[in-house]
Structure 1
């Protein structure tokens, strides 16, 4: 069983996921950004839902920046990624809501 959590170490929601999944590998996307291929895979999985439009970072963007596609936005601003993104045994999960926790047996 392999579990990887993608997020930011200062994110409270990511901290909750890390605490609940102590055997998971954590990757801080601010310090270790996603590759183009990894971003493309996540966008294929989650689409625009991967971009957190409720974040402080999003609100600080210009209209021109907001008009960019999800891949370009996430490349330029890794903190725009909705968090956490969890890969568990080949399946992807976005966020730390009850459905994700139930699927992961937490």
Structure 2
């Protein structure tokens, strides 16, 4: 089963969903805001994707952190922040065939799904 994780109003999520739909790839979508997020989920993500890569430093939520928060980020406090502020998770996270992928680029998805 293929699962796409993210926030439904994110443009990158929309592109990934369109790609999957256009290529007839069955998937389920987990919206962090509607379906929730847990420490266990983020911990599992971080076992497959480096915690520093999971952190979206380009978003508004990250930019609103204090300088002290940004300077003292480590795996534990970052994972806690990601649970508290799902918008700070880089999107999308894709799980396919027990492998974890981050972000969306059509050529990457072509390789993943051998389209």
Shorter chain as normaliser: what TM range? 0.7 to 0.9
TM-score by length of 2: 0.82
8 Å Cα contact 2:39-2:80 kept in structure 1: no
| Higher mean displacement: 48-57 or 77-86 | 48-57
TM-score by length of 1: 0.88
- 1:92 paired with 2:92, answer no
8 Å Cα contact 1:52-1:80 kept in structure 2: yes
2:49 alignment partner, SS class: helix
Deviations 1:47-84 (A, max 9, x none): 21000011111111112433342211101110000000
Structure 1: gaps spanning 5 or more residues: none
8 Å Cα contact 2:55-2:90 kept in structure 1: yes
| Aligned residue in 2 for 1:9 | 8
Q: Distance in 2 between matches of 1:58 and 1:101?
A: 31
- 1:63 paired with 2:71, answer no
How far off its partner does 1:89 sit? 1.4
- 1:24 paired with 2:33, answer no
How far off its partner does 1:18 sit? 0.8
Count of residues in correspondence between the two structures = 105
Structure 2: gaps spanning 5 or more residues: none
Larger radius of gyration: 2
